[in-house]
Amino acid sequence: MEGNDAERVVIAGKRDAANHKRRELLARGTPARRETPLWKEVPLLLLVAFCVAVLVRTFLFQAYGIPSASMERTLTEGDRVIVSKIVYDVRTPQRGEVIVFRGNERWAPEFQQDPDSGPLARLGAAVADLIGIGQPSEKDFIKRVIGRPGDTVMCCDAAGRVTVNGHALDESEYLYEDSPLGLGTVGDCRAREFGPVRVPEGQLFVLGDHRSRSQDSRCQGFVPMDDVIGRALAVAWPVDRWHVLAVPATFADVPSPAPGAGGSPPPPGGSGGGAAIVAAAVFHAPRHRFSA
């Protein structure tokens, strides 16, 4: 009995000693974790955010500002769209998609960039462009794909419609209609009538939705697929104009091009003959490869 009492006393003593030590530690408090000063943390976070933005802009997505009225009604001047830069790594552009591309030396700018206002302005513009919020280049264009390689495109049929491989497009969903037949002079992009022309391999035929305000394949020539930057997916700004840039239903009914099918310009003096001849000459001129 006495041995058990002694053992209980020893255990209680050890427990009391442990509790005493614990109380001392709590009283002294544990040293606080050393935090990074705010003046160091904020620049670090900004640097990380900048690097992420550059990577996203370079390889995945880019915000593109609409600089002109050439894509009304679909896009208005001042809109900002999200452009996917990876979608065409796995497939080629399809009819009806809205694409951004780099125009070569034949493509006349549709707007004038702001004049240079000094080194600070140039630095700010370079940083804004690097993260994808800058002003678009004069040589960057946004248009709708109408014809793919092998397609025969022309305007107009008896009802004044653009046709692709003989299928008349119902463009009422997106077309800004203010271009009467025959408007413009030879080679003028405002003219609605053109073709028929056949799209060569590796090229695209593109048009703006606002035909009388657009510099496009009617007078500028085909777009090499190598010059395509990406597909415009949606309007992101302003918020009240947010919408997805889906492919209009009319393009689903366009048939595949017939083997060996092609078009040739009508003779001079015919409907749209002069413009078609100039367009055909431009279309088949040599192209250069754009290096991103």
pTM of the model: 0.67
Task: Provide the token pair at 191.
Answer: 């003219």
Class of domain 62-283: mainly beta
Tens digits of residue pLDDT in 179-225: 655 554 445 677 778 889 999 999 999 999 998 888 899 888 999 99
DSSP label at 210?
Answer: B
Question: Which amino acids are annotated catalytic?
Answer: 70, 143
Instruction: Note whether 63 and 78 are within 8 A (CB).
Output: no
**Which amino acid makes up residue 145?**
V
Instruction: Note whether 111 and 163 are within 8 A (CB).
Output: no
Tens digits of residue pLDDT in 149-192: 999 999 989 888 999 999 999 999 999 876 655 554 445 677 77
Kindly tell me the sign of the dihedral angle through the C-alpha atoms of 57, 61, 63, 67. positive
